[in-house]
Copies of this chain bind each other. A is one copy, B any other.
Amino acid sequence: MSYAPISEQLDDPETARESGRKKMDWAKEHMPILESLREGFVADQPFAGEVVGMAMHVEAKTAILAETLAEGGAEVAITGCNPLSTHDDVSAALDAHENVTSYARRGVDDEEYYEAIEAVIAHEPTITVDDGMDMVAAIHEDYPELIDTIVGGCEETTTGVHRLRAMDDDGELRYPVFAVNDTPMKRLFDNVHGTGESVLANLAMTTNLSFAGKTIVVAGYGDCGRGLAKKAAGQNAHVVVTEVEPRRALEAHMEGYEVLPMREAAAEADVIVTTTGNRDVVTEEHFEVMKDGVLLANAGHFDVEVNLDQLSDLATSVTDVRDGVREYQMADGRRLNVLAEGRLVNLAGPISLGHPVEVMDQSFGVQAVCVRELVEAGDEYEAGVHDVPDRLDIEVAEVKLEAEGVEIDDLSDAQAEYMGSWEHGT
């Protein structure tokens, strides 16, 4: 194994471990779902004998998921899914766990990035947990011999699920993968609340600017986009939405937002945030009409939404005017500011901490029960993308409600009968 775990790469791993452990302890305190599941896992050791290979944003919250799986008996090997989102100290603290090996390191180059993925694969995972599908893709492309022993996988993100479904449609996906991203428990909380809040907080703290009275263009009105739009309106921004899907566009319109093509939206924008999961959402024709001082940020998984190559070509100079803010000077005097190099602004910025702890607790709670389900189900799931069964999702919701002290009603038998019947009339 040529690529070394983080502990062997750092000068002072001990100090890093302490710092990382502190971050993990804070996260752990605010992750009641994983804590509740961990208790059961420690007792039952459901993952004994399994190897979990993970490619995720390696920071405190993910570390708690990895640790939770490890304490359930799994051998865990983990690396990052984005070169800028790794916290080295957390990586080191995680690597210190006897059942975990972490290869994640911040700022690796492309070659190292893929070497780290291969280092994880060298552990011969029986289960994969991905955020963006890189692990699944690498195994299918380069290590197909491992597929026979793989029980299944879990995918965290919209983009990853999208790519997996495309792969499945092509008949190329050769083991079962749960679309964790698509469960209500993930989609409605992590995407809507987590992305919205953390993108805004990162923008505010990186720029020291406010949202009141600003025109914020939200590109894409999926779950992330609608969360961001709502939270931005909740900070008194004037929200403009762009979309390509007519029903979503209409939904945004009926919500009271202005809906415009990007060409018109770009000309009005004080801030543009992309959330589409697609490429070339903001391009040359839009750069041309933007106002001086506009802020450009991306909240989608990959850094392809704002076309930075075109922007660089247009710019007469490029300067880092502030930590996390790169200014592109246009020939006509306008200055366009790109945040976090066009990468996920709530993960890759200079003070970024990623999604809030509690929403990740929900997503990772689903991850944890899905990994358990894969192990328990034996051969039940065929190769392909699978929706998370409702009962797992409901289990996680119940754990969370209990942790929050929220009580709800039960359906009476008479009510359940009524809902299952079609014979009652007007």
**A interface residue numbers (CB < 8 A to B):** 22-23, 25-27, 29-30, 60-61, 81-83, 113, 132-134, 137, 162-164, 166-167, 170, 172, 184-185, 188-189, 193-194, 197-198, 200-202, 204-205, 207-213, 231, 233-239, 242-247, 249-251, 253-262, 264, 277-280, 293, 302, 304, 321-322, 325, 335, 351, 353-359, 393-394, 397-398, 400-401, 404, 406-412, 414-415, 418-426
Q: How far is the CB of A181 from chain B (nearest CB, A)?
A: 14
**Cβ contact within 8 Å between B278 and A415:** yes
CB-based contact B236/A254 at 8 Å: yes
Query: Can you pick out 15 interface pairs between chain A and chain B where the beta carbons lie within 8 Å of each other?
Result: A133-B422, A137-B425, A188-B247, A193-B212, A193-B213, A193-B254, A198-B210, A208-B354, A208-B356, A210-B355, A236-B256, A237-B256, A244-B409, A244-B411, A262-B409
Tell whether, in the assembled complex, residue B233 and residue A170 are in contact, meaning their CB atoms are under 8 Å apart. Answer: no
Query: In the complex this chain forms, how many copies of it are found?
Result: 4
In the complex, A29→B322 CA distance in Å? 13
Q: Given the complex, which residues of B lie within 8 Å of A237, measured CB to CB? A: 256
User: Once the chains are docked, how many angstroms separate the CA of A322 from the CA of B26?
Assistant: 8
Evaluate contact between A188 and B426: CB separation under 8 angstroms: no
A210–B426 touching, CB < 8 Å: no
The answer to whether A213 and B404 touch (CB under 8 A), given A234-B235, A235-B197, is: yes
A258 contacts which chain B residues (CB < 8 A)? 238
Q: How far is the CA of A264 from the CA of B166 in the complex (A)?
A: 47
Residues on B with C-beta less than 8 A from A253 are: 213, 401, 404, 406
CB distance from A76 to the nearest CB of B (A): 21
| Least CB distance, A370 to chain B, in whole angstroms | 16
**CA A188 – CA B236 in complex, angstroms?**
13
* Chain B residues near A209 (CB-CB < 8 A): 30, 356-358
Cα A42 to Cα B290 in complex, Å, equals 30
* Residue from A249, A260, A325, A422 having most chain B Cβ neighbours under 10 A: A422
Q: How far is the CB of A167 from chain B (nearest CB, A)?
A: 4
Chain B positions within 8 Å of A415 at CB level: 244, 278-280
